[in-house]
Amino acid sequence: MGSHEDWSGSNRRRFPRAKYPCLVTIRNPASDGDDVLLTHTENIGIGGICVTLKQSVKMFSSVEIELDLMDLENHIKCSGKIVWIARRPASDTKKPLFYDIGVEFQGLRDDEIRHLDKVVRRLAKDNPA
């Protein structure tokens, strides 16, 4: 498996920005079922994604991710872990009281890594920092 980019701290800011449809299933052992949340990515990289949710989630929660990269290839489905949470300021009128959630990918297959790498490289080329 290839090396993953660092998703901690301010390093996540250098990831290409993209809005891809994303289905996030949050497993909560304390409740009777899973929370299935349809959202979109804010940032994407080989190591993980940032998604926007209307609710906070517990740090280090396990999640299942289905990511539609809007190309002809299959959706990427994998596990993940919540590694950071940031509440948007109440003054942000576009998305008040939303949360940006950082999810680290876990268990990506080699072909999925290559597919994701191709998309991320294309995004970085189209949107240089």
What is the tens place of the pLDDT at every residue in 62-108?
888 888 888 877 888 899 999 999 987 766 566 557 888 999 999 99
Quote the pLDDT of residue 10: 45
Q: Are 23 and 65 in contact (CB under 8 A)?
A: yes
| pLDDT recorded at residue 55 | 81
Q: Average the pLDDT over 99-122 and give the result.
A: 90
Which fold would CATH assign to domain 9-122?
Answer: Thrombin, subunit H (2.40.10)
Q: Quote the pLDDT of residue 38.
A: 81
- The per-residue pLDDT for 5 is 47
Rounded Cα distance, 65 and 96, in Å: 24
**pLDDT for 104:** 94
Q: Tell me the C-alpha to C-alpha distance, in Å, between residue 108 and each of 9, 47, 73, 80, 125.
A: 22, 10, 15, 9, 23
Predicted pLDDT of residue 84: 93
pLDDT score for 123: 81
- Which pLDDT tens digit goes with each residue over 19-50? 777 777 776 555 566 777 788 888 888 899 99
Gyration radius of the chain over CA positions:
14
Is residue 38 within 8 A of residue 49, CB to CB? The reply is: no
Average pLDDT over residues 53-66: 86
Q: What is the pTM of this model?
A: 0.75
